[in-house]
Amino acid sequence: MTLQEYDYARESPSKLAASCLLLALTMKNLGGWTPTLEYYSGYRCQDLHPLVKRLNFLLTYQPHDKLKAVRTKYSHRVFFEVAKVTPIDMLKLEEMLRSC
């Protein structure tokens, strides 16, 4: 979805990928940012917080009337219906990020 948003073009692809991973881990309650992830990504959890919040905001407040191709594609069971996953409440996300 970030490919369709100009605001994310200035972000480093590795930082964007790391932030997406952290958000996914948080959304699915699969643990936090481990020392191994920090080592191999080069990013501390705190470095990713602002971008993770922006990504969750994008998921929460996306326009549903335009650019539906990505949402439709990833709503299919072949892609595990990841587009249908409910975003985290912003306050809950903030609380979860503080703990990492």
Nearest one of 53, 22, 54, 52 to 38, comparing CA atoms: 22
Write out pLDDT tens, residues 30-58: 988 999 999 999 999 999 999 999 999 98
Question: Distance between the two ends of the chain, CA-based, in angstroms?
Answer: 25
Strand stretches in the chain, DSSP E: none
Round to whole Å and give the CA distance between 24 and 52.
Answer: 10
Write out pLDDT tens, residues 53-78: 999 998 888 766 667 888 889 899 99
pLDDT for the residue numbered 92: 94
Domains of the chain: 2-99 (1.10.472.10)
- The pTM (predicted TM-score) of the whole model is 0.86
